[in-house]
A and B are shown apart, each in its own frame.
Chain A
Amino acid sequence: MKYAIEATGLVKRYGPVVALDGLDLSVPEGTVTGLLGPNGAGKTTAVRIFTTLLVPDAGQARVGGLDVVTEADRLREIIGLSGQYAAVDEDLTGFENLDLVGRLYHLGRRASRERARELLEQFDLVDAADRSVKGYSGGMRRRLDLAGALVARPPLLFLDEPTTGLDLRSRLAMWETIAELVAAGSTLLLTTQYLEEADRLADQVAVIDRGRVIASGSTDELKKLVGGERFELTVSRVDELATARAVLAPLAVGEIAVDEQARTITVPVTGGPAMLTDGLRRLDEVSVQVLDIGLRRPTLDDVFLTLTGHSAQDEPPQGEATTTEGHSDRAKQEKERAR
């Protein structure tokens, strides 16, 4: 198999902080690989080394067959990078931003302009093309930034947390855009804090913690490890538990867990929100009083808990239904603090 990225024993320190602690990674050509990990795990540092922005303290990395240190100049011709913060110029228009990148890839005046127009079309930014980016929404900025990475049609793409800080709707739109790119057959390395995002977009995932890869494989393998969706409900009286359990049994894809103390039932399910409606209808038919109900998806926290025994943020895992949204808010706050 040919590898687009091969890294062995990468080490990077910032003073006393070890950002990468012997990272090994191989990304086969033509695949999408998700680098999954919490804040500070070393994802961005790894991407910065692969894109020649940082020189590793130890270890080796080849990207597209080129050494990231000694062949950096040639490497820059075949990669595209879209960073964690949309690195677009606020005072320029969308068109000017893309044209600038095109000129710096040496596409030539005419080709650069044509390509900029083409990308604005592709990323649904035609109406905003001649407005300055200052007035763009977060989602539009991200799309423009992503378009910037694609200007020279690079065979190798790096997307560093492409949806961090976006609201749910913009995130879904961004996923769709990336999925289309992927379908076109580029090799892509994507970093993310969201298991769901890796699941949606990546063929294989490497889980990274404290500068090392602690697990890798397909997203299915990873999910098998942590389990799938769970339907959680709390009933008002203990004697309702048995009834509830009985009516929900047909929905379960695994063992149902009952906690009499907390009066909760946890049912492993598949099928998403539709399942929630179905479950509620069944409970209603037998007149069970439901106090609280929710669909819980496995998050990065669950993966970390399973793999390392500690949670992603080194905090106790949250008992309440943690959605990826809760996670993103926290991550966003931390990012903002870090700026």
Chain B
Amino acid sequence: MSQLVQGLGDGMVIAKRNLIKIKRVPDLLVFSTLSPIMFVLLFAYVFGSAIEIPGVSYREFLMAGIFTQTMLFGSTTTGSQLAVDIQRGIVDRFRSLPMARSAVLVGRTTSDLVNNVLVIAIMSATGLIVGWRIRSSVPEALAGFGLLLLFAYAFSWVMAVVGLAVRSPEVFNNASFIAIFPLTFIANTFVGTDNLPGPLKVFAEWNPISAVTQAARELFGNTNPSVPPPDAWPLQRPVLASLLWIAVILVVFVPMAIQRYKKAVSR
């Protein structure tokens, strides 16, 4: 028990260090919020006129998708910043200190969560400006935001494993971009899944991104009750499916990331 408390304490010391860095080098935050704003505007005004979603306006449909995609991109910070810390030898120093083995990862994922909270706030404001509305209750809306952030937090641990494996921020950025783009596009984020060709449709329906997006859509009240969701289990019960995905990701990737961290050395 005291080990757990100490581990969390060390994690918070690291998180505080990371947050000081956000304050001092605001570029990262500026760009991680500018790109979702750009996405909202592009999709809303360019595709918004061309894409028809039955029963609901495209701008309302779009926002949950953009939220999920942006959260995922936000979670890549975990991997790239870990790679930077390894490359600069800072992880070597941390690993020679009598601190908890989980602390650097707990701290990193926590500060990236804080970063994501800021990002989601800015995006929501942008969405409200272009006509997005929350049509559910306050508790449901909060649950929607909570679910998005929780999913991003879990995904941070996946990115931690990748970042610790590649150990170079440049390689990490390319690799994560290639992985995340198809993952967020072969889903119900920007278009409906019904008209996708066979294998893509199956992938999209079982993609965790789709479950989270569908859940957020429902929790924000951006769906039309008269248009039922696609006939796939994760999309029929999206909140449950999302929570299951989050649990599975954490159970698999948290121990894997800590194991990798224990062996991480520069070069």
Interface residues, chain A, CB within 8 Å of chain B?
48, 51-55, 73, 76-77, 79-81, 83-92, 96, 100-101, 103-106, 132, 148, 338-339
Assess whether B93 is in contact with A106, with CB atoms less than 8 Å apart.
Answer: no
Is B88 in contact with chain A by the CB < 8 A criterion? yes
Can you spell out 14 A-B residue pairs with CB atoms less than 8 angstroms apart?
Answer: A52-B95, A52-B96, A53-B265, A83-B89, A87-B89, A88-B90, A89-B90, A91-B25, A100-B17, A104-B98, A104-B99, A104-B103, A105-B97, A105-B98
Could you say which of A51, A79, A106 contacts B6, with CB atoms under 8 Å apart?
A106
Beyond known contacts A81-B93, A87-B90: 5 more, CB 8 A cutoff: A81-B96, A86-B89, A89-B88, A96-B20, A101-B97
Interface of B toward A, CB cutoff 8 Å: 6, 10, 13-14, 17, 20-21, 24-25, 88-90, 92-99, 103, 263, 265-267
Contact of A87 among B21, B25, B88 (CB under 8 A): B88
Q: Which of B13, B25, B97 contacts A76 (CB 8 A)?
A: B97
With a cutoff of 8 Å between Cβ atoms, the chain A residues found around residue B13 in the complex are 100, 103-104
Q: Are A48 and B265 in contact (CB under 8 A)?
A: yes
A104:B10 contact, CB within 8 angstroms? yes
Residues of A within 8 A of B24 (CB): 91-92, 132
Q: A92-B20, A96-B20 are in contact. Are A77 and B98 (CB under 8 A)?
A: yes
The residue of chain B having its C-beta at the shortest distance from the C-beta of A55 within the complex is: B263
Tell me the bound Cα distance from A54 to B264 in angstroms. Answer: 9
Shortest distance from the beta carbon of B4 to any chain A beta carbon, whole Å: 15
Check B17 against A84 for contact (C-beta < 8 Å). Answer: no
On whether the beta carbons of A83 and B93 are closer than 8 Å, the reply is yes
* Contact B98 A148, beta carbon cutoff 8 Å: no
Interfacial chain A residues near B14, Cβ < 8 Å: 104
Which of A55, A77, A87, A91 meets B20, CB within 8 Å?
Answer: A91
**Residues in A neighbouring B21, C-beta threshold 8 A:** 89, 91-92
Query: What B residues does A51 contact at CB under 8 A?
Result: 96
Cα-based distance from A37 to B166 in the complex (angstroms) = 30
Residues of chain A contacted by B98 (CB below 8 angstroms): 73, 76-77, 104-106
Identify the closest chain A residue to B17 (Cβ). Answer: A100
User: Cβ of A53 and Cβ of B96 under 8 Å apart?
Assistant: yes
CA distance A96 to B95 in the complex (A): 18
Residues of A within 8 A of B17 (CB): 89, 92, 96, 100
Query: Which of B88, B89, B97, B266 is within 8 Å of A104, CB to CB?
Result: B97
Q: How far is the CB of A130 from chain B (nearest CB, A)?
A: 12
Alpha-carbon gap, A49 to B58, bound state (A)? 58
* Chain A residues whose CB sits within 8 angstroms of the CB of B25 once the complex forms: 91
Counting chain B CB atoms within 10 Å of each CB, which of A55, A87, A92 scores highest? A87
Q: A338 contacts B99, CB within 8 Å?
A: no
Cβ-neighbour of B93 out of A52, A73, A148 (below 8 A): A148
**Which residues in A have their C-beta under 8 angstroms from that of B99?**
104-106
Contact: A81 with B92, CB < 8 Å?
yes
In the complex, which residues of chain A have a beta carbon less than 8 angstroms from the beta carbon of B267? 338-339
**Top 6 A-B pairs ranked by shortest CB distance?**
A87-B89, A76-B98, A87-B93, A81-B96, A104-B99, A91-B21
Task: Give chain A residues whose Cβ lies under 8 Å from the Cβ of B266.
Answer: 85
Residues of B near A92 (CB, < 8 A) are 17, 20-21, 24
With a cutoff of 8 Å between Cβ atoms, the chain B residues found around residue A96 in the complex are 17, 20
Q: Which residues of A contact B93 (CB under 8 A)?
A: 81, 83, 87, 101, 148
Query: Are A54 and B90 within 8 A (Cβ)?
Result: no
Partner of B94 from A88, A104, A106 at Cβ < 8 Å: A104
Question: What separation, in Å, do the CA atoms of A87 and B97 have in the docked complex?
Answer: 13
Q: How far is the CA of A92 from the CA of B88 in the complex (A)?
A: 14
- Shortest Cβ distance from residue A43 to the other chain B in the assembled complex, whole angstroms: 14
A104 to B94, CA, bound (A): 8
* A149 CB to nearest B CB, Å: 9
Q: Name which residue of chain B comes closest to A80, CB basis.
A: B96
B95 touches A53 (CB 8 A): yes
CA distance A282 to B95 in the complex (A): 59
Given the complex, which residues of B lie within 8 Å of A84, measured CB to CB? 89
Give chain A residues whose Cβ lies under 8 Å from the Cβ of B103.
Answer: 104
